[in-house]
Structure 1
Amino acid sequence: MRMFKKMMIGLLVPLLLLPFIQVAEAEGTIPGPSTHAQSAALIDVTSGRILYSKDGDKELRIASLTKIMTAIVAIEQGKLDDKVKVSSTAFAKEGSSLYLKLGEEMTLENMLYGLMLRSGNDAASAIAEHVGGSEEGFVLLMNQKAEEIGLKHSHFMNPHGLDADGHYSTANDLARLTAYALHNPVFKRIVATEDKSAPNPNESWEYSWHNKNKMLRLYEGADGVKTGYTKKAFRCLVSSATRNGQQLAAVTLNDGDDWNDHARMLDFGFENFPLMEIAQKEQPVANTDVITGRGFTYPLAESEKSAVTKRLVLSTNSTETRSEKNEETVDPSFGLAGRIDLELKGEFIGSIPVYRKGSYIPPEPKSEDAALGEIGEVSTWATAWRAVLSHLLSP
């Protein structure tokens, strides 16, 4: 059984991380929209495919877009009902603020709403100190997360985004970070919220926060993400929207007409790169006794549909495996047989697990199901998959 578990985990886990590995970029497929941005990017959230990029790897200041990383690290590492105390270093932090009082306590969840809706720099510092032990400790976690999800042109020096040497990212990296974060149901819920109230322990009135992200009110289907501005970074924006089951995220850095540019970028993505069904769940694979374990969709231009190729890879250990110790036979009803690798113009875009006909096929977890247990315990859809596998493979 142990050998079987190793084989299953080794085969399945890589398949569950597809949005965050290298995928085919769409640059040059269709002329992109015009923008006023110094740098811009558009990404399909589910697949992680970059649909449009303008100087997308240019390292620039990113202002409060930093807080996207702050929020996802805090969500994954902290507990939403923890009380976060405002220290002397967090109190009266320069720039945008929630105007928290020295020594005030607020739940991490409410502080995250203040962080993302009102861009509170005091909240950013308080969250960092609570989750990371200090701002420096939290910044270490931010840079570790950047490395983990493959952000090759990003480096963080603080949790709020105030201008600092060595603090930068790119439009492409921020697009990938946003796609990663939007798979987290807590993050997704917070950034889609237009108005939020929170208890105020020092006054008779509640905090009331209105989201600075005007895209939520200007663009049909908008559901995130974050605004940013400093005197050196200028106007920065990440927005997201969902239409017909497809979610896109747009990024602009140093853009004086960002609201209009984002509308054009999102329109461009939805019109030119809709999600197309490449495979259906439980679809028979020709000339074999296996079927697909899940469906697969991918954002494609009309001209790209014929360029998708499929390659079946069968596992040699897929029928019957015995434990080295007790010669225990694996239950044949759990019949993972291999995978189908998908490529677009020679570039890998994903895999589909295949199972023997008649065997048990695990259900696909929804992103909402990823909030099982305490925050940080199961915080992404990929982690949720691993939790399902752990349960299925336990003795």
Structure 2
Amino acid sequence: MIQWQVVVLYQKGFLRIGIVLIILAAFLIPANAEELSVSAESAILVNADSGEVLWAKNENQECAMASTTKIMTALITLEQAAEDDKVVTITKQMTAVEGSSMGLQPGEQLRLSSLAAGMLSVSGNDAANSAAIAIDGSAEKFSERMNQRARELDMDHTHFVTPSGLDDDAHYSTAADMAKLTCAAMKNSAFQKIVSQKSIQVEFINPQIKRMYANHNRLLSFYQGCIGVKTGFTKKAGRCLVSAAERDGVRVVAVTLNAPDDWNDHQKLLDEGFQKLQSITFDDRSFTAEVPSATGGTMIGVRGQIGDTVVLPKDSYPERTVELPQFLYAPIEKGQCVGRVVYRLNGQIISQTPILADSDVPEERSKQSIFDRIKQFWMSCFP
């Protein structure tokens, strides 16, 4: 991306030169730099780590979202399973739901976590319905739990009615809200493990068998770095898709609702995310310094450390500040934190790396008087 700034110069000759430079900059923009266009009625691309919006189209428009609903259903199911992965006995009521299915039959038994695998891979409506009834006694009661969780995630334009995503006039969300949900869900390790697999083996308790289910998400096979997430389709909602991909420490999430060409839409969106973001690890191990002892006569060696890895826009330039006291007071142990290196972007702290002492520094034998300590304190405040 070419960045330039218009500077108004008041000398006539320089003003002409400035105009020429601006015109040349316009011609330097690549000819293939086109505005991103997708088939989706509503779409969004976000930084999965921060939730920052990288690109959007009608992102707050309320739409039916079909089986991408199961992102919420599966997340709640897996959270319950983490506390008690109980065995669920399938009933006729649980399987009395139309649409895609993992083929559950009354009398079969499997765990909650297995139901989550079935709803996220082959988009089993029977699995979603079974989990809802097993957890809360009915799909209606479970939908209340879904809406409560939506409020917790600030999904302000979302209302759930069914755990499966079957059409209902009161069942809707937005691309922006589904992105919030997906970013939260991908922080759940069990959820992430399921949605990132091209196929998954589900173990049944009764009968004692294992069944293999193929994931409907084709992006897992042909998009480099794809790690999920969920497909969806109903006549009302159209083709819906939520995807996530990771490359070189950068993770992005894309959502499209009612997208006739959703597979291509998502390749464009994910590519856009990787073009805009970079992963940076702040490493200050090369930083060394010596800080005088407060009592004089001793220099204390200090060294920076490796810090956080953060995802930032490619055209961003963090400000680096080293914060060390003017004097250090013994005793000091090797490895003790004595300062920090701070990185800021747009005035906000984005990372801090510690500065540690290189060696032990024993306490001086001759104690300073209170007046000397006050003097040294004020000297450190006003160097």
Instruction: Tell me if TM exceeds 0.5.
Output: yes
Map of 2:311 onto structure 1: 298
**Which whole-Å CA distance do the structure 1 matches of 2:259 and 2:340 have between them?**
47
Map of 1:48 onto structure 2: 51
Shift of 1:96: 0.9
Q: Which runs of 5+ in 2 are unaligned?
A: 1-32, 292-301, 330-334, 359-383
Map of 1:392 onto structure 2: none
- What amino acid sits opposite 1:147 in the alignment? R
Task: Select 2:144's aligned residue among 140, 146, 150.
Answer: 140
Shift of 1:176: 1.8
Point out which structure has higher relative CO (alpha carbons under 8 A, 6+ apart): 1
**Which whole-Å CA distance do the structure 2 matches of 1:85 and 1:312 have between them?**
61
Q: How many residue pairs align between the two structures? A: 308
Q: Which runs of 5+ in 1 are unaligned?
A: 1-29, 320-332, 360-395
Shift of 1:203: 6.3
Task: Select 1:193's aligned residue among 194, 197, 213.
Answer: 197
Q: Is the 8 A contact 1:276 1:300 kept in 2?
A: no
- What amino acid sits opposite 1:299 in the alignment? L
Deviations 1:206-237 (A, max 9, x none): 42211111111121121111000011000000
Map of 1:67 onto structure 2: 70
Map of 1:95 onto structure 2: 99
**Which whole-Å CA distance do the structure 2 matches of 1:97 and 1:221 have between them?**
28
**1:156 and 2:160 aligned:** yes
Map of 1:323 onto structure 2: none
Shift of 1:122: 0.9
Shift of 1:244: 1.4
Shift of 1:94: 0.9
Q: Percent identity?
A: 36
Q: How do residues 1-395 of structure 1 correspond to structure 2 at under 5 angstroms?
A: 32-79=35-82, 81-200=85-204, 206-277=210-281, 279-280=282-283, 294-302=307-315, 305-306=316-317, 308=318, 342-344=344-346, 351-352=350-351, 357-358=356-357
- What amino acid sits opposite 2:158 in the alignment? S
Q: Is the 8 A contact 1:32 1:268 kept in 2?
A: no
Q: Is the 8 A contact 1:273 1:301 kept in 2?
A: yes
**Which whole-Å CA distance do the structure 1 matches of 2:55 and 2:288 have between them?**
34
Q: Is the 8 A contact 2:336 2:357 kept in 1?
A: no
Which structure has the highest strand share of the two? 2
Shift of 1:112: 1.1
Change (3 A) 1:253 1:271: same
Deviations 1:139-181 (A, max 9, x none): 2222222222222222212211111122211111111211111
Tell which structure's C-alpha radius of gyration is larger.
2
**Which whole-Å CA distance do the structure 2 matches of 1:168 and 1:312 have between them?**
49
Provide the secondary structure at the position in 2 that maps to 1:188.
helix
Shift of 1:309: 5.4
**Which whole-Å CA distance do the structure 1 matches of 2:353 and 2:342 have between them?**
7
Shift of 1:198: 2.5
